[in-house]
Amino acid sequence: MSETTPIPAGDLPGAVRLRVAPSPTGDPHVGTAYMSMFDLAFARQQGGRFILRIEDTDRARLQADSEQQIYDTLRWLGLTWDEGPDVGGPCEPYRQSERLETYRPFVERLLAAGHAYHCWCSPERLTQMREQQQRRKQPTGYDRMCLGKTRDERAALPGCAQTPVVRMLIPDDVETSFVDLIAGRIDAPVPDDQVILKADGFPTYHLAVVVDDHLMGITHVVRGQEWISSTPKHLLLYRWLGLEPPHFAHMPLLRDEKKAKISKRKNPWARLTWFRENGYLPEALVNFLALQGYPPIVADNGTEREVFTFDEFAQRFEWSKVNPAGSMFNLDKLDWLNGVWMRELEVGDFACRLLPFLEADCVLSDNPSLGELARLRSVAALIQSRMVKLTEATDLVAPFFLSDDMIVIADDARAQLDDRSAEVIDAALAVLGDIDDHGRGLLGSESDWSAERIQSCLREAIVEGLGVKARVAFGPLRTAVSGRRISPPLFESMEILGKTSTLNRLQALRETL
């Protein structure tokens, strides 16, 4: 691969080529998924390629497990890439730390052409310089002490380091205006002499991103608005190196309720892993992230629809419709979307998605029996419409997998019991004890132990027989069966538990009254 000749677009697959380039410096940021979604949508729509590149040149902040987390979370969301460190591709390697020999020739070209220079200023000297600029209320930026000096000349001055960095030499007449796919013409701030090669021999983001995007044939760069100020530097590097720049699309920032840019330090949900841990569906999160920068889908009849699939989003995607202002990251809206998507799942799929949370909470083992899976499916059908997040499953499901003597009555459930609770439970025990719970008999009759029969008998015995109001008649029974004040539908729960467990739990509560 030549570092001097741009790769013809026809030599690389894909009508367009887009990339996401996260740094493995901790839990993946939700912004990585946000950018990936727009990258992938446009690539799929245009018959292009989506590339994952790992920008691991910040060695001080590198975390060993972070790269795998990036793979795992993006795949969980269905945002899969065509080329990357783990899948290979025509532009290997896809980790910047494995491409160090690639960048040096570009640095040498910039030095030889006078577009860059060595800087020996120590970190302490640079800190003092910035502090003085701030005290004088001057714009902060490098003061070019090293420009035009040899190593020996600079060594005679204070604050000289042993190993130099390389800085861009920004011309006085630098063009700071550029065209953005989303915002149109943008006027960016005047840049300073940016470091492009660090003392440890690693390139900075600004050089590496230009070189890698060029060599990987990237046609469209999608990134956050915080990078607008860097774009003039990147365009300068493209021009100085004789390379064709890509199109730029600067996405609106993800902001919290105070309209501040979200960060992992301040917002736990800025971590992409947080959403999986807290029981959100990947379909709902992708849908939600699309709405952070894009309007609802407009149906053929003109009505707006906020719930849509990634494929629908990709089919209708247009850069001109991205809202530069973005929107607030509203977790209540995400909860609503998650509930909608959850109710759309086929019950078997829904039950499968509950399993990791139930296993983590020791409700089920990591190898449940066929009988346990069948019971879980029955329970899932009862609770699917009542849940917002998968993490809510344990409280609702656990009573169906506990032995009868392990049911613990919650304080708020016991608090609602009254003077008639014992009478209600006695009536229930009597009437439920008479229901036949055997299987198909000699004459072909099925068991009477069904939700419909249970409900009919209990209403007749308690509501009509004891005169207890229907809205409170079954509270003691719910408490006995589940141990909770709020539970899945009572009669269906009793059917799933079976006659023996139901009577055992009713009797256990009765003995405490």
Catalytic residues: 264
Look up residue 422 and give its two tokens: 């014992």
SS3 track for 42-81: HHHHCCCEEEECECCCCHHHCCCCHHHHHHHHHHHCCCCC
Three-state secondary structure call for residue 29? strand
Other CB atoms closer than 10 Å to residue 487's CB: what's the count?
20
Structure tokens at 208: 């590496």
CA distance 312 to 248: 24
Pair of tokens at residue 226: 């915080």
Residue/partner pairs of 145-153 with CB below 8 Å, 24 or more apart: 145/119, 145/121, 146/117, 146/118, 146/119, 146/120, 146/121, 147/117, 147/193, 148/117, 151/118, 151/120
Whether 312 contacts 43, CB under 8 Å: no
Structure tokens at 271: 């971590």
The residue assigned the tokens 């021009």 is 239
Rounded CA-CA distance 228/212 in Å is: 19
Element (DSSP H or E) covering residue 474: none
Q: Are 408 and 483 in contact (CB under 8 A)?
A: yes
Specify the length of the chain in residues: 513
Identify whether the C-beta of residue 382 lies closer than 8 Å to the C-beta of residue 411: no
d(CA 236, CA 321): 29
